[in-house]
Amino acid sequence: MLVVRTAYKCRAYPAPEQASVLNRTFGCVRVVWNRTLAWRHQRYYGEHVKTGFTQANAFLTAMKATEELAWLNEVSSVPLQQAIRHQQVAYTNFFAKRARYPRFKSRNGRQAAEYTRSGFRYRDGALWLAKMDTPLEFVWSWPDIDPAAIEPTTVTVSRDPCGRWYVSFAVEVAGPEQLPATGRAAGVDLGIKDFAVTSDGEKIANPQKLARRGQALARYQRRLARCQKGSANRAKAKAKVARAHRKVRASRADFLHRASTRLVRGHDVIVVEDLNVAGMVRNRSLAKSITDCGWGTFRQMLEYKAAKAGRHLTVVDRWYPSSKTCSVCGHLLASLSLSTRTWQCPSCGTRHDRDINAAKSILAAGLAVAGGNPGDACGADVRRHGTPRPRSAVKQEPQPVRAGIPVLQGGE
């Protein structure tokens, strides 16, 4: 049986004594992370010595033995050790070129502490953390899942800059049942005016979450700028700014979840472009709008949801000229300005909507990897003729498409 790792994040409501313990824990985790990071940085660039997890863990023990940092012993040692492990993973991802160099933690950002099995006790839906005598109160948000039946492997307690508390339970559960085949495939062209345009002609409007709340957010930030540093009013103004950002972030995440889920449920094969978002945001005129779209998060959602549902996601190479390629005859235009929203193919005479044509061309390029048949894409749970449905495919890496200029057959 396939076992997957998932997490359930809930709102938490710690008592004043519990909040005090957690705040001290957050501070200790932050100090351990920052001091260890500075020590590793100095060893590497000053002494040309690499630091592994064993040396970093010994450095933590040495810090706790000093008089200056003796207060590190007042909190549970589990979150401190987890901070060292997370930093080691961050360095591993950096050297593997999967992430940027680890950064120092700030007291003004999100605070979190992770507890392993030795740092918490979970029984009958009640959670006791280390250094606490009473269970931590939280609200369970999944009515179809019994909280008393889960067996969390780790528990992460966090606090947003706006003051909200959360608790996240990491659980190993049986893999979900794969969705039945639909026999449909879709190419998706992402944009700013329309968030996404599919090869079926559907246009998903861009909600522009940040732009809608931009005036209120700017007003809160002006109030914050006028407050004196260190004052109580500044702390209140900072919380209002954080709450405004949280509302934008939550609204955007809700929209991306709904859009990605609808695409995964309705199609066996989904083809998207490999957009260079990091390079696109360097355009000062469009950086704010591109960041508000959340294209990178949308693609991540498509990847893990497609893997769970037995769908297949194909990623087309970023240099593929989807907008300039006629989806009917394959003719490639020499140039096409961004302001041109419709154009007529000089070869076959077909008049195209720029975005819909791009989505169809993206779909054709993705299907070229599977031989052009949506039902034969990668052998996952898709509909075939004359033969029983094959066994479900496991998660596969997105395949870049660098073929020529494929054309949808039959004018699809």
For residue 62 the two structure tokens come to: 């040495």
Residues 6+ apart with CB under 8 A from 341: 353, 354, 355
Match 């469009």 to its residue by tokens.
Answer: 286
189 catalytically annotated: yes
Please tell me which residue in 114, 160, 268, 273 is annotated as part of the active site: 273
Beta strands in 276-326 (DSSP E): 312-316
Residues 6+ apart with CB under 8 A from 259: 195, 196, 204, 298
Q: Which of 298, 406, 393 is nearest to 360 (CA)?
A: 406
Please tell me which residue in 114, 292, 355, 381 is annotated as part of the active site: 355
User: What are the DSSP calls for 140-188, one per residue?
Assistant: ---TTS-GGG---SEEEEEE-TTS-EEEEEEEEEEPPPPPPP---EEEE
CA-CA distance, 292 to 310, in Å (whole number)? 29
Please tell me which residue in 189, 268, 292, 381 is annotated as part of the active site: 189
172 catalytically annotated: no
The answer to whether the beta carbons of residues 362 and 355 sit under 8 Å apart is no
With H, G, I as helix, E, B as strand and everything else as coil, classify residue 253: helix
- Catalytic residue list: 189, 273, 355
